[in-house]
Structures are given as C-alpha cells and as structure tokens.
Amino acid sequence: MALMQISEPGQSPEPHQRKLAVGIDLGTTNSLVATVRSGSAETLPDEQGNTILPSVVRYVADAGVVVGSEARAAIFEDPKNTISSVKRLMGRGISDVKTLGECLPYEFIASETEMPYIRTDNGDKSPVEVSSEILKVLAARARETLGGELSGAVITVPAYFDEAQRQATKDAAKLAGLHVYRLLNEPTAAAVAYGLDKGAEGVHAIYDLGGGTFDISILHLHKGVFEVLSTGGDSALGGDDFDHAIANWILEQAGQACVGNDVARQLMEIARGIKEQLTDNDNVDINIATGCFSWAGDISRDTFNNLVDPLIVKTVRACKRALRDAGLSVDEIDDVVMVGGSTRVPRVREKIAEFFGATPMCDIDPDKVVAVGASIQADMLAGNKPDDEMVLLDVIPLSLGIETMGGLMEKIIQRNTTIPVAKAQEFTTFKDGQTALAVHVIQGERELISDNRSLARFELRGIPPMVAGAARIRVTYQVDADGLLSVSAKELTSDVESSVQVKPSYGLSDNEVTRMLKDSFEFAAGDKDARALAEEQVEADRQLEAIRQALNENGDVLLTAEECSELHALMDKLSLVRRGDDTVAIRKAIDELNTTSEVFASRRMDQSINQALSGQSIDSLGEEK
C-alpha cells in the first residue's frame, strides 16, 4: 500500500488557499482565458489590455513562434507559415484534411499515424502543436496576471466534437503544460455563465455565431446537469461571410468586376472593420485606396441588413432543424443565449428574437461568455467553492455500451458525457420465440467487444415468445453522481424487467484509460473493417436462420425440388464464406441468396394472404403481424 504523505511542520499548505484555475475558450477565430477572482468571473487581458487573442499562429524561420494579432497581420504576406482556424483541423486524419484543405494555403504532410502535419519554415507542425501554442500564450498570460502556477484549466469544445477532436484538444493542453480539469461543451459553458445551471429545470437554445462557424445547441437542464438534446449549425457560416458580403458590395459600388487576391484580402479586412462599426453606428464612411482602385462613399445599417439577411435566414433554418431533432416546438424553449462575436450585429439579435419570440440573453459579452462560463466551472472543480456549492457535473472517462450480435460494441453513453446521466436504447430479439436476452455491459472505445473491457453480464428472462424483431427491449444505462452505473433491461410489451449495478469509473487506472484511447485512435481503421465483417456475419446468420425456418414450414409445398436444392446450395455456400473473413464475399453470397429466395418469399406471402382472406374477416387483418 502506498504510504500517506505528511508535510514538514510549517510547510503545510494553508488550509483555505485558493487554487488558481482558469477557463479557456479555444475558438476558431479568437481565444480567451478567464478566471474567478473575488467571486466574479473576468477575462484576463494581455499587456496592451486586449482580452481577445486571435487564434492565429505564425512560424518564422529560425525565429520561433508568433501568436495573436501580430500573426494575423501576416496572414496575407506569409500565408503558408501563418496558420489560422486550426481548430477545424483538430482530430482529423490526413484524408479529411486533404478535402478540407483544398482551399487552404498550407502544405500538408502525412505522418505514420495518419495525423496531418503542416509544413512551415520552422518545421512540420501538427494541428495539436499549433493549438498548444495558442494555449501556451493564454496560460502564460494567466500565470503572470494571477501571479502563480495554475492548478488546472477547463477548456471548451463545440458540443458536436467527437472523441478524436476532444482528445486532440486535451493533447494540445498537455503539450502546453496545462492540467485539464475537464473539457466543457461551449454551449454548456455559456449557460453556466448565465447561471442557468442554478435555475429551474428548463430547455435552453444556445445560438453561437462566431467568425467562421455557426452552432445551435438545444440543452435540457435537469437536476443540475445539462443534457445536449440536439446540435446543428453550419461549419462554413459566420462573421467572415458578413465581411464577404460587404466587400462584394463595395466592389459593385466601385464598378470593379474582380480584383486580385491581395486586394480582395485587403478588402475583407476593411469590410470587417466596417461591419464592426455598423454595430454601434447607423452609417459608416468608407474610403478605399488600394493598388488597383480607389473609392469613397458610405454604407448604412439598412443596406448592411439587406446584405446579411440571407445569411441570417440560413441560421434560422438550422435552428428549426435543431428544434425538430430535439422534438420541440419553438415555444417550448425557455431561454435563448447569444454567443459569439457576430451576435453583436443588431440585425442578428432582432431576427433571432423574432424567431424564438423572446428577447435573447446578451448581457454578458457574447465573445467572452464561453470563457467566463468555463472559468466558473474551473473554480468549482479546483475546490474553491464551499462544499454545498460543489458541482454535480462530472464526466465518464470511457464510453459505456452493450454487446450486440457479432461481438460488437454499441455505445449507449459516450465518454466525456457529464454525470449523472441516464440513456436508454431499444433492442430486439434475434430469433423467433427467443425468451431470454443476455445483456453484456462493456466499457471502451473500440468497435469489437473483445478489445474493450467487460464490466458485467446479466440476463433478462421471461420475454413472451414472439417472432424475431417483434420484442421491444429497452436497456437503460444510468450513472449516478458518484460514478456508479446501473443497467436495467425491460421488455416493453410485457413489462418483464431485470437489472444490475456495476462500478465503472473506479475500475480503470489513468494509464489504462490513456492506453485504450491511444489504441482506439491507432486501430480505428482496422476496427471499422472488423465491424463491417462482424455485421455481415450477423446478417448472414439472420438470413440463413430465416430461410431455414421458412423452408421447414412450407418449402416442400411451395417450391419445386429443383428450386429447393438451388436454395440449399446457396445456403451452404453462404455458411461456408461466412466462416471466413472476406466481407465482400459474404455480402455477395447474401445478395445471391436473397435474389434466389425472393420467389419463395413472394409465394409465401401470397399463400398467407390467401389463407387470411379465406379464414378471417377483412377487419381483423390489420391486427395480423
């Protein structure tokens, strides 16, 4: 057993010393760091008093790294060494990046691990390294302002970020020497900033319009936990498009059909300035003198509104879709929270208020609100709050799932989901007359259960016999605030129920978690193949079983001897290839068997209809399965 440590007399830390904890909004366009001081959350400025750090990193040959405004100023003169919007590349493989990257000025290099690197004059850089440069600057800023070492940070990520993207963000933090208390969803952070987690149960819409992305998230607050009901948006819609609209308008006014790239980029910068001024002014003077043309004039807010209306309409459409996905109508939304610099545009606020029929919350600076919420969360996680204000929010480190046919893992609760949480999924029986179901509880990220960790097994017995696929078994996974998992299974037509309690979170060491996550990244491609194979094998078994049953029932009546033997031959062939590992061959054999058995199936159908029509009244037909 490890020995307990006791510090020297006089050296023990003060009992109530506050820990320095920060919240970081690592944004596509801009990043910020915030902390809670004397009870209030605030974003931390640099020496010039700027709190916003543009998320741009420039690598200068033999001269190190420049981050922020200075780097952004070099985007046009040194595009290949100046990396912006690196967040879009996080957790992506080289093939994703190649498609994304067609319009990017960087030179991508593949690595052994599928991770893309960007070639710069200062060496090849992975997106994780680039992000870590941004985090390093923010961490240094926080250390200087707060006068001490940071105990930890909460870093925000979009709600839709997948495992790989979250992991990449954590890795970037690690590289920057930051201890990550937790990754927090950006919309949740915004909701926390407004104290919605302290309020009553409710449904909140978080509308986040940033520089290049639009995200809408519908959150449900229940017992102190935010559940993401749905997310939506457009990864290529944001303030940049507003700038574009203004730039095009200027070109039109100036009678310029098209200009070179340099001028176009210069114009975009000017347009951004005009747009931001139009937030506080009804009219803005424009005076342009570029290398190829000059123009003077002005633009009114009304003109600007007309230019951006079609873009705002697009965001409203995405809101409608997100509501539909959450199964909610607009009047079921309790609050709308405005996030992202582009929600400063008055027209955006107006249109969103109109759509939701409510004034959106925008008291907290929309470009700071995510960092503020993250810092509140960090403060709690650092233990700076009295016990009764401790957060309930915690996450499960690895996904929890169930074994499905073919030895596959079906995830029911994704890793990083905050706890307490309950998720249910419906399953069904595989065989006709199946009266019991084996529930195998699994933890891990891999596709095959044999590569994951088995947590528990139990059986649901007493399911009334039904045809395969007719039973409806709801399996519910519930993790309480202490990380205790209980799993229950219930057959819905008969109410038969069974359950088990397991203890997942304490079962794995950090090293094991790290290894499993590493494996899931390394083996992702192989896993996909294994999954496809297992799925085809299951499908083969299902087909064989179904046809065998049908042949037993009335094969001799409905099929000629020839047809019968043809079917048997194809079934034998499928049974044979099914035992191998050639996914394509199995699929082919299934298809062949399917085509040939179609005649049999249609004769069976005709026969059962005839039987039904002759034996029963039409009215009772509807109840036949």
Which residues are marked as active site? 25, 87, 186, 208
Burial bucket for residue 224 (CB in 10 Å: 0-12, 13-18, 19+): middle
Residues in contact with 20: Cβ distance below 8 Å, sequence separation at least 6, in sequence order = 35, 142, 143, 146, 148, 149, 150, 151, 382
Q: Measure the CA angle with vertex 215, ends 212 and 217; round to 5°.
A: 170
Q: Which residues from 226-245 bind ligand ADP, rule CB under 6 A?
A: 238-240
Per the structure block, which two tokens stand in for 324?
């539909």
**Least gap, CB of 286 to ligand ADP (angstroms):** 16
Q: Binding segment for ligand ADP among 22-30, 399-407, 432-440, 467-475 (CB under 6 A)?
A: 22-30
Taking CA atoms, 31 is separated from 2, 93, 276, 368, 506, in Å, by: 41, 24, 18, 9, 34
Residue 27 touching ligand ADP (CB under 6 A): yes
Q: Which of 29, 131, 429, 597 binds ligand ADP (CB under 6 A)?
A: 29
* Listed ranges 187-195, 220-228, 290-298, 342-350: which one lies at the site for ligand ADP (CB under 6 A): 342-350
Q: What does DSSP assign to residue 361?
A: B
What is the rounded CA–CA span in Å between residue 254 and residue 296?
8
Query: Rounded to whole angstroms, what are the CA distances from 477 to 131, 391, 483, 560?
Result: 35, 22, 12, 50
53-54/40-43 β-pairing = unpaired
Is residue 84 involved in binding ligand ADP (CB under 6 A)? no
Q: How many residues does the chain have?
A: 625
**Selection from 147, 4, 134, 156 nearest residue 58 by Cα:** 134
Q: Cβ closer to Mg ion: 228 or 590?
A: 228
DSSP run (H or E) holding 491: strand 485-491
Does 373 bind ligand ADP (CB under 6 A)? Our answer is no
Residue 351 interacting with ligand ADP (CB under 6 A) = no
Q: C-beta of 277: minimal distance to ligand ADP in Å?
A: 8
The one-letter amino acid at 423: K
- Shortest CB 39 distance to ligand ADP, Å: 26
Among 133, 163, 335, 367, contact with ligand ADP (rule: CB under 6 A): 367
Query: Pattern 453-472, binding to ligand ADP, x per CB under 6 A?
Result: --------------------
- Exactly one of 211, 232, 420, 555 binds ligand ADP (CB under 6 A); that residue is 211
- Is residue 379 within 8 Å of 35, Cβ to Cβ? yes
Q: Does residue 68 belong to the site contacting ligand ADP (CB under 6 A)?
A: no
131 contacts ligand ADP (rule: CB under 6 A): no
276 near ligand ADP, judged by CB under 6 A? yes
Q: What is the rounded CA–CA span in Å between residue 436 and residue 491?
A: 10
**160 touches 325 (CB < 8 A):** no
If one asks whether residue 136 binds ligand ADP (CB under 6 A), the answer comes out as no
Please report, as ranges, the residues that interact with Mg ion according to CB under 5 A.
Answer: 27, 210
| Pick 186 or 491: Cβ nearer ligand ADP | 186
Interface with ligand ADP, residue 275, by CB under 6 A: yes
Provide, rounded to whole angstroms, the least separation between the CB of residue 213 and ligand ADP: 6
Return the range that interacts with ligand ADP (CB under 6 A); candidates 217-225, 268-276, 291-299, 535-543: 268-276
233 binds, among Mg ion, ligand ADP, none (CB under 5 to 8 A by kind): none
Interface ranges with ligand ADP (CB under 6 A): 27-30, 210-213, 238-240, 272, 275-276, 279, 340-342, 344-345, 367
